[in-house]
Amino acid sequence: MPRFAANLSMLFTEVDFLERFDAAAAAGFSGVEYLFPYDFPVDVIKARLDANGLTQVLFNLPAGDWAKGERGIACHPERVEEFRAGVDKAIAYAQVLGNTQINCLAGIRPQGLDDASVEQCFVDNLKYAAEKLQAAGIKLVMEMINTRDIPGFYLNTTAQALAIRDKVASSNLYLQYDIYHMQIMEGDLARTVEANLAVINHVQLADNPGRNEPGTGEINYRFLFEHLDRIGYQGWIGCEYKPATTTAAGLGWLKTHNAI
């Protein structure tokens, strides 16, 4: 059965961020992921991981001003230098935290630019990041996100991500497959994951509609977990959902879906 990581940007939000490491371990998780570590000294996060025996599974490259609605800068030609500085910052954190994969958020498509210019910027930035991360022993993943939750987000489907990956032409670029986002954008989840298993390095989950825990919506997670196990998926599954009530009250899905 795949390993499950608590997404600390979505779970245990009733306590301060650093306390969520303790809460995740107490709930039985062995790994954690979150949006960004950069608001905290890296040694402080490392101490929380070590104290709880947790694996640092994933975080994102710096993605612009999140509080103001920015959701990545990788497809913004005027911010290439900022993107590259963010790659260096992410590597510095990852090397201390033992994090072996980092996600690149494409961002919301900039207005006033032709499609070719936006795509070329994204491809060039991914090439740069993939090379730098590979030298540091870290894998680069990119995430497809639905246009309902983030209107205008540039990377939306598996087919588009695969086409971008071909243009980047790096063995160090993988897909982060978020089941919730892809159920909204394209469906056909099991066959898509199986067909592209070799290039999927991370999976995330939430049910649909609502983006709550498994068992609250239309997605057959019991089947999908068994399917991932059957086809040999070796990575983590990040639990990036909004608890329908509280995190603790909603954790029963782990048992009912044979996830523990």
pLDDT in tens, 101-120: 999 999 999 999 999 999 99
pLDDT in tens, 26-57: 999 999 999 999 999 999 999 999 999 999 99
Q: What value, to the nearest 5°, has the Cα angle with vertex 103 and ends 215 and 33? A: 50
Where residue 152 falls among pLDDT bands split at 50, 70, 90?
Answer: very high
Look at residues 101, 104, 178, 177 and name the one whose alpha carbon lies nearest to residue 136. 101
CATH 3.20.20.150 fits 3-256, yes or no: yes
Q: Could you list the active site residues?
A: 143, 240
Query: What pairing do the DSSP bridges indicate for beta strands 101-104 and 31-33?
Result: unpaired
**Is it the case that residue 228 has pLDDT exceeding 80?**
yes
φ and ψ at 44, to 5 degrees?
Answer: -70, -45
Distance CA(191)–CA(227), nearest Å, equals 10
**Is it the case that residue 258 has pLDDT exceeding 90?**
no
pLDDT at 177: 98
